[in-house]
Amino acid sequence: MPKTKVAIIGSGNIGTDLMFKVMRLSDSLEMGVMVGIDPASDGLARAQRLGIETTAEGVDGLLASAQFDDIEVVFDATSAGAHRANDAALRPHGKLLIDLTPAAIGPYVVPVVNLAEQESSSNVNMVTCGGQATIPIVAAVSAVVPVHYAEIVASIASKSAGPGTRANIDEFTETTSAAISQVGGAARGKAIIILNPAEPPMIMRDTVLVVTDRLDDAAREAVAAAVAAQVEAVAGYVPGYRLKQDVQFTDEGDELDLLLPEDRRSGSYTKVTVFLEVAGAAMYLPEYAGNLDIMTSAALRTAEHLVAARKAVLA
């Protein structure tokens, strides 16, 4: 069966890493056009050496490409503001847009949680790296017991944060917080990102803190099992994703009331804490850039699934 052609807008770290994943890992997708705005970018230079069509004219260059009609999927690895303009330019052409920015024009997608629900969407949002790493855990706990509050802290190497990430810090926290509730199932969500300047650079680490009603031993075992199963599921497409230690349970009292919506307050809770680590696959980026690796891995999995779903409808 012929592969589906894709274009990538954004020739920076994320877009270039995604290009290598499409070429090396996908059985159903193939590179069509690599799109950038800087003619001197390393991503465009690498694509050219690999025989891939490139343009430094942004989305206008993609629209002018002789391959454009054959492109079915467009990954956008630019910035939130640029994605809004790219979406407006591409929407009339019926392409499937996979948005790796925090723009969130389309619905949030976390592959192990809600990918099947978005098969009819034409623009899907990959939330953020912190969201891709932590929302599966919130959802796993939420599938066992109601989650009243969830807070995530994503700590990434400063060297792995490019200009797009740095320009979109506010959007990162807002988008991730919203997705913790909408996808993860928490009544209230909060997200924090830390750019760690340590040398040598540290790999991505994430802390997930979840507040539930007071849990007995059976419920704790069920939550721990659900988290372990979810980690294994994510590791199926992000091999460097893993638990750092056993799930932690701490009983708490009314000191947590102010974190919760008023209708969820009981004064008797269990705090569930999960520590995660994400090492990158080092196809283009260093191992410490697990934050970017989990985004490109999730985007690839999402595109492959949605393309297959579209073809199944047409068959």
Q: Edge to edge, what strands does the sheet with 53-55 contain?
A: 53-55, 29-35, 4-9, 71-76, 96-99, 123-125
Distance CA 223, CA 217 (A): 10
Given the residues 59, 129, 141, 150, select the one marked as catalytic.
129
Distance CA 315, CA 304 (A): 16
CA distances 66 to 17, 61, 63, 89, 275, Å, are: 24, 10, 8, 17, 48
8 A C-beta contact, residue 202 and residue 286:
no
Where are the strands (E) in 186-314, listed by range? Answer: 189-196, 204-213, 241-243, 248-252, 269-278
Are β-strands 29-35 and 96-99 bridged in parallel, bridged antiparallel, or unpaired? Answer: unpaired
**Does residue 253 carry a catalytic annotation?**
no
CB atoms within 10 A of CB 262: 7
Amino acid letter, 8: I
Catalytic residue positions, numbered: 129
